[in-house]
Structure 1
Amino acid sequence: MIEHHDLHHEFPEMGEQIRELKMKNRHFARLFDEYHDVDREVRKIEEQAEAASDERLEELKMRRLHLKDELYGMLKQATEEA
């Protein structure tokens, strides 16, 4: 079974901060969109709907992880400032 990695599943307790930052912070919104684009591509490969090398899949997973870490940092900072 393919796991869901969208931010609302990853950080359910931060749903309000995610919505707020998407509306108020253009950098966050851009990273959010990129994260979900990469996640969709990973899922397509994992579901075998799209062919890719193992190296490509690992690159995408690392990019998704990097983006998630950056987004989490922004969410955490917004939570601390609230």
Structure 2
Amino acid sequence: MESQTHSIANLFAQLGLPSEAAAIDAFIDAHSPLPHELRLADAPFWTPAQAHFLKTELDEDADWSAVIDTLDARLRHRA
């Protein structure tokens, strides 16, 4: 089975969030830096459904996990 490559815009759309580049940047600016000890899926700004999706995809190392890792890294880094 071939895995898919998802973009950060696809991830935001999957999470039900605005997926335009400016909206993604604004989200990251508003929620970063994420504390190192806090797992991404446990961040308080996710809905329960969003948190479940993130946790499940990471736990299963599913198709979305690479782009979720990218989001995680961007949320932990303050420009």
Pairwise TM-score range, normalised by the shorter structure: 0.3 to 0.5
TM-score for the superposition, normalised by structure 1: 0.35
Looking at CA atoms only, which structure, 1 or 2, has the larger radius of gyration? 1
Report the TM-score when normalising by structure 2.
Answer: 0.36
